[in-house]
Amino acid sequence: MDELILTLEGLQAQAKAAGAALIGSILAVVIEGGRFAADVFRSTKDTIAELTGRIEKLEESTSTATAVGTAASDTAGNTSLGTSSAVGIFASSYVVVNGVDTTGAGAGATASLRNVDGGDSQLARFHRIRLAPAGTPGAGTQVTVTFPVPYPKTPIVQLTQESKSANQHQIEVTGVSKTGYTISSIAALTASSLYDMQVVVVPQP
C-alpha cells in the first residue's frame, strides 16, 4: 500500500508539472483515500493482534482450571443410600433418628428415605428424608446421615424443606464431614407433624 501511494504521488507531481490540474486533483483524492485505507489496515491489524493475545491468555488460564469435584467425589455421590420401587417412605441403615425425648426427635420417632415417585433414586448426592417426631421432641440432633462412601473432601450440604410442617424453619444441617452430616432443630418439633426434606450434597474440588 505504501509503495502504491508513492507511485501515485509521483504521477501527481508529473501532472502538475505538465499543467494537468484536473488530473492532479483526482490523483490527490486517490492518494488521500489510499492513506486512509493504509491507516485503517494498520489499526485493524493491531486490534487483531491484541485480541489474539487475549485469546491465548484465556486458553492458558482455562486449560489449567480445576473442575468442581473429582472422580472419587462422583463415586461417593452416586452411591445409593437405599432403593425402593414403591412411592412413599422406606428405611435405610444410613439414616438414623435420634429417638430420645427432650433432646432429640422423641421416643418412637422415625426417619426414613422417601420416594415421591417410583423412579426416584436416593443417592448420597441427592435424597429425600422424612422425619416423624414422636413422644416429647426437643431441640438438638434429630437425624444422623452417613455416606456409604466417604467424600475425599468435606462437601457442602444443602437442605430444603418440602412439607409445610409446624416449626419447619427451625431445622438446619449441622456437623457436616467427609463421612456424613446431622439434621438438627433449634427448637422442639411437633410430634404430630411430618417433616419432608430434600437434601443436596455438593462435592468440593
Q: Verify that 105 and 190 share a domain, yes or no.
A: yes
Binning pLDDT at 50, 70 and 90, where does residue 32 land?
confident
β-pair type (180-185, 122-123): unpaired
Inter-CA distances, 144 with 4, 12, 108, 125, 131, Å = 83, 93, 16, 15, 11
- b or e along 43-68 (b: 16 or more beta carbons within 10 Å of the residue's beta carbon)? eeeeeeeeeeeeeeeeeeeeeeeeee
The string of DSSP codes covering 24-67 is: HHHHHHHHHHHHHHHHHHHHHHHHHHHHHHHHHHHHHHHHTPPP
The residues, any chain, with a CB within 8 Å of residue 182's CB and separated by 6 or more, are: 141, 142, 143, 144, 145, 173, 174, 175
The residues, any chain, with a CB within 8 Å of residue 63's CB and separated by 6 or more, are: none
Q: How far apart, in whole angstroms, are the C-alpha atoms of residue 68 and residue 106? A: 39
Q: Verify that 111 and 171 share a domain, yes or no.
A: yes
What was the pLDDT predicted at 167? Answer: 74
Residue 4 has pLDDT above 70, yes or no: no
Our count of domains for the chain comes to 2
Average pLDDT for 155-162: 95
Structural domain that includes position 171 = 71-202
Give the domain-ending residue among 17, 33, 63.
63
- The answer to whether 197 and 170 are in contact (CB under 8 A) is no
Q: State the CATH number of the domain containing residue 163.
A: 2.60.220
Residue 21 has pLDDT above 70, yes or no: no
Cell triple for residue 83?
A: 432403593
- In tens, the pLDDT along 112-143 reads 999 999 889 999 999 999 999 999 999 999 99
Residue 64 has pLDDT above 60, yes or no: no
Average pLDDT for 149-175: 91
Q: Verify that 92 and 176 share a domain, yes or no.
A: yes
- The answer to whether 137 and 144 are in contact (CB under 8 A) is no
Q: Verify that 125 and 198 share a domain, yes or no.
A: yes
What was the pLDDT predicted at 19? Answer: 65
Average pLDDT for 136-161: 97
What was the pLDDT predicted at 163? Answer: 85
Q: Verify that 52 and 77 share a domain, yes or no.
A: no
The vertex-72 CA angle with 68 and 78, nearest 5°, equals: 90
Look up cell 494498520; give the residue: 42
Q: Verify that 80 and 45 share a domain, yes or no.
A: no
What was the pLDDT predicted at 145? Answer: 98
Task: Give this prediction's pTM.
Answer: 0.67
Please give the residue that has the higher pLDDT: either 201 or 69: 201
Mean pLDDT of the chain: 86
